[in-house]
């Protein structure tokens, strides 16, 4: 990648609009599911899987399941995208409410 391509890639990354929302991580072997929210859904799985591979995930139940079943036993999915730009106030509350809804609907644990 030459200098101009790199500059264009960095510029495009900075100009992108992150999409917030609710996601789930599921362990196929046990059926356990964890639900969380993120201000940028496009990067959350990379961050979570890195923490899990390094053994530094804050959610001990998720880390334990990962250690037992390995990365191939897990699936990541986006449950809901939320346009936070349309909300003038209450952004955090809106995300928390949607996480709670999905936790109840899926009988899932929180991340």
Segment among 11-25, 31-45, 66-80 with least mean pLDDT: 11-25
* Within-domain flag for 85: yes
* Within-domain flag for 1: no
* Within-domain flag for 2: no
* Within-domain flag for 96: yes
Alpha carbon distance 12, 21 (integer Å): 22
* Within-domain flag for 5: no
Alpha carbon distance 63, 57 (integer Å): 6
* Within-domain flag for 7: no
Q: Which residues lie below 8 Å from residue 96, measured CB to CB, with a gap of 6+?
A: 37
* Within-domain flag for 13: no
| Terminal Cα-to-Cα distance of the chain (whole angstroms) | 37
Range(s) of the domain holding residue 58: 18-110
* Within-domain flag for 79: yes
Note the pLDDT tens digit of each residue in 19-37: 899 999 999 999 999 999 9
Residue written as token pair 């999915």: 77
Residue written as token pair 């399941």: 65
CATH code for the domain in which residue 104 is found: 3.40.1440.10
Closest to 43 measured CA to CA, from 11, 10, 5, 16: 16
**How far is the CA of 46 from the CAs of 52, 60, 94, in angstroms?**
10, 18, 24
**Number of domains forming the structure of the chain:** 1
pTM of the model: 0.85
């Amino acid at each position: 990648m030459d200098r101009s391509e790199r500059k264009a890639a960095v510029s495009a990354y900075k100009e992108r609009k992150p999409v917030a929302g609710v996601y789930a991580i599921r362990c196929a072997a046990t059926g356990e599911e964890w639900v969380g929210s993120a201000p940028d859904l496009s990067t959350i799985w990379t961050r979570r899987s890195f923490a899990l591979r390094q053994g530094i995930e804050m959610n001990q139940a998720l880390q334990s399941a990962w250690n037992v079943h390995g990365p191939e036993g897990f699936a990541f999915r986006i449950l809901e995208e939320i346009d936070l730009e349309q909300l003038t106030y209450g952004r955090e509350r809106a995300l928390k409410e949607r996480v709670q809804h999905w936790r109840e609907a899926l009988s899932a644990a929180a991340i």
